[in-house]
Each structure stands twice: as C-alpha cells, then as structure tokens.
C-alpha cells in the first residue's frame, strides 16, 4: 500500500537550463540545453526523466507538448548529464522535468517546473558542475 512506502525528500539533485553559445545555428539564435545534475557523493541509478511543457499560447490557446522520456542507467556522483535541447519558443510555457531514480533500494522522485518566462538572463546563476551560467532549479 502507498502508506507503507517511505517518501524521503530529494536532496542534491537539480535541473539546469543553459545557453549553448558554442552551438550557433545558421539563424544565429542561441541553442539551449537541459542538464540533470547530481551534486551527491553517490551515483543515481535507473534514472528516468519525463519532460513536457504545458500552458497557453500568447493568443490564449491552451497547449501541451509531447511527453518525452529519457533513461540513464547511472548518473555518476558529482556529475551533470545532458537531457535534451530546448527551443526558446517554449520558454513561455511551464517546462516540467519529473526525475525518478534509485539510491540503493530506495526510490526518489521530484518534479522540477520552470514556470513561464523564468528562463531569462535575470535568473542566471553560476552552475559549478558545468562551470557555466544558466537557470538552476533545485
């Protein structure tokens, strides 16, 4: 039963969205990359990331993007792994990354939601694991 499952809080795991200035497409618009960061001293095992976006278009029309699922057998201690590129045209939506993983026999999960228009330079912070600046959600 659900009441028999221990739901410990997720600590030391975050999601970052950073501009990738090294990869400029022909149109000159900056590409962005989503990363999963493990700040812990132990690896995360059997990691699943569900990514989707939802919200409203500027004209008021409701929109929901496809749900994409990414699986990582292991995310090493104190490492960052790229999850997916993200199009800046989606920044006006809620961009949700639902992360589930095992540490030993215990399962952990947490939703990281970047609210509309939060992926902007005003919200940039230095991300030590990547040695770059971007928007960090812990």
Over residues 75-89, the pLDDT tens digits come to 999 999 999 999 999
Three-state SS string over the chain comes to CHHHCCCCCCCCEEEEEEEECCCCCCCCCCEEEEEEEECCCCCEEEEEEEEEEEEECCCCCEEECCCEEEEEEEECCCEEEEEEEECHHHCCCEEEEEEEEEECCEEEEEEEEECCCCCCHHHCEEECCCCEEEEEEC
Domain with 74, as residue range(s), is: 2-137
Instruction: Read off the pLDDT of each residue in 110-129 and give the average, rounded to a whole number.
Output: 96
- pLDDT score, position 28: 64
14 pLDDT above the threshold of 80: yes
Q: How many domains does the chain have?
A: 1
Average pLDDT of the chain, as a whole number: 92
15-24, 44-53, 87-96: least confident range: 15-24
**CB atoms near residue 113 (< 10 Å):** 14
Instruction: Read off the pLDDT of each residue in 1-18 and give the average, rounded to a whole number.
Output: 85
Radius of gyration for the alpha carbons in the chain, expressed in angstroms and rounded: 16
> Edge-to-edge, what's the strand order for the sheet holding 125-127?
79-86, 31-38, 13-20, 132-137, 125-127
Q: Confirm if 71 and 45 have CB atoms less than 8 A apart.
A: no
CATH number of the domain within which 79 lies: 2.60.40
- pLDDT score, position 51: 98
Q: Confirm if 80 and 129 have CB atoms less than 8 A apart.
A: yes
């Amino acid at each position: 039963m659900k009441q028999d499952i221990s739901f410990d809080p997720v600590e030391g795991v975050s999601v970052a969205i950073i501009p990738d200035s090294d990869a400029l497409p022909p149109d000159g618009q900056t590409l962005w990359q989503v990363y999963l960061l493990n700040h812990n001293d132990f690896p995360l095992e059997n990691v699943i990331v569900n990514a989707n976006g939802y919200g409203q278009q500027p004209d008021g029309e409701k929109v929901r993007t496809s749900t994409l699922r990414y699986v990582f057998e292991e995310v090493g201690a104190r490492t960052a792994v790229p999850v997916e590129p993200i199009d800046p045209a989606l920044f006006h939506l809620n961009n949700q990354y639902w992360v589930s993983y095992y540490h030993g026999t215990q399962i952990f999960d947490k939703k990281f939601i970047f609210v509309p228009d939060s992926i902007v330079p005003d919200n940039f912070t230095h991300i030590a694991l990547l040695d770059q600046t971007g928007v960090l959600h812990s």
